Amino acid sequence: MAIQNIVGRTKYKVYEGSYIEAMPKISADGFRPLTIEEIMRAQLGGKLNFKENYGSCDATLYSSDGRVTFIRDSTHLKELGQDSELENAGLVIPADVSEVLRKENPTFTRKEIGSLLLDDEEHSKLLTKGEVMNNPIWQIYAGQDKALLDSYYEKVWGRIGKNKKEFLDKDKNGLFIIYVYEPEKRDVLFTTALLNEGNMNFFTVLTGGYLSKGPNGEHSSTNLPAIKVS
């Protein structure tokens, strides 16, 4: 497993590999993964670049009844190990634990999520600045910091450039969110990742990143930025 030092901070590292491989190593080294908010701040501050895909310790819980819960700084993700029970490359969460997580964290119905994330059943929304600023999911993962969201939007939009704006609709930015999973029987928790889509500067919150190799053999390796636990 490769480890990269982030320039300018010797106790700040990026771990490469699947979550189920990387998390025990991160913990053993005395580090913890960054949240999406911390990754956004690190990118804006020049500590992380805008060209990579970054995983986080934020999570998305998909419940079998269709509800979706967004969890910042997930203990379950940070305690992930080789003996964790996975289903479709997500962490199985017992029903009683899921109920507690839903009570303690923002939870939405499938219908509510669909209106926030999708233009239709198959296509994720490209969001205008106003939609980004008022989108509760972006707000959750940005720590309810609208100034951070504003700065991040402007940075991403500025990086797209005139020659790439033809790929976008009107003034819509490459900030959008992907909803990916509907469990049938058990509640399953996935990571939340911040992706640079195809080097097009379409930055995506992926609310369903795999913790190990995907159910169809999909690649699960990611970059996990981590900071030393004081």
Q: pLDDT, tens digit, for every residue of 70-82?
A: 999 999 999 988 8
Q: Do residues 155 and 149 make contact, with C-beta atoms less than 8 angstroms apart?
A: no
The mean pLDDT value of the chain amounts to: 76
* Residue 38 phi, psi dihedral angles, 5° rounding: -65, -35
Q: Residue 97 pLDDT more than 90?
A: yes
Q: How is residue 84 annotated by DSSP?
A: S
| DSSP alpha helix (H) spans, 161-217 | none
Residues 56 and 185 sit within 8 Å (Cβ to Cβ) = no
Using CA atoms, how far apart are residues 202 and 175, in angstroms rounded to an integer?
A: 6
Cα separation, 94 vs 96, in Å, equals 6
pTM for the full predicted model = 0.82
Domain range annotation of the chain: 56-218
- Predicted local confidence at residue 28, as pLDDT: 93
Return d(Cα 68, Cα 142) in angstroms, integer. 18
**In which band, very low, low, confident or very high, does the pLDDT at 209 lie, cut at 50, 70 and 90?**
low
Long-range Cβ contacts of 15-18 (<8 Å, 24+ apart): 15/223, 15/224, 15/226, 16/221, 16/222, 16/223, 16/224, 17/221, 17/222, 17/224, 18/210, 18/211, 18/212, 18/213, 18/220, 18/221, 18/222
Confidence label for 116 from pLDDT (cuts 50, 70 and 90)? low
Q: What is the DSSP letter of 173?
A: B
Regarding predicted confidence, which is higher, 127 or 197?
127
- Name which residue leads in pLDDT, 206 or 139: 139
Beta bridge pairs of residue 226: 13, 33
Per-residue tokens: 10: 């010797």
Percent of the chain with pLDDT over 70: 65
Helices (H), 45-88: 75-78
**172 vs 153: CA distance, rounded Å:** 10
pLDDT range class, residue 10, cuts 50, 70, 90? very low
pLDDT tens digit sequence for 40-51? 899 888 888 887
Supply 148's token pair: 């951070």
Residue 61 bridge partners (DSSP): 69, 189
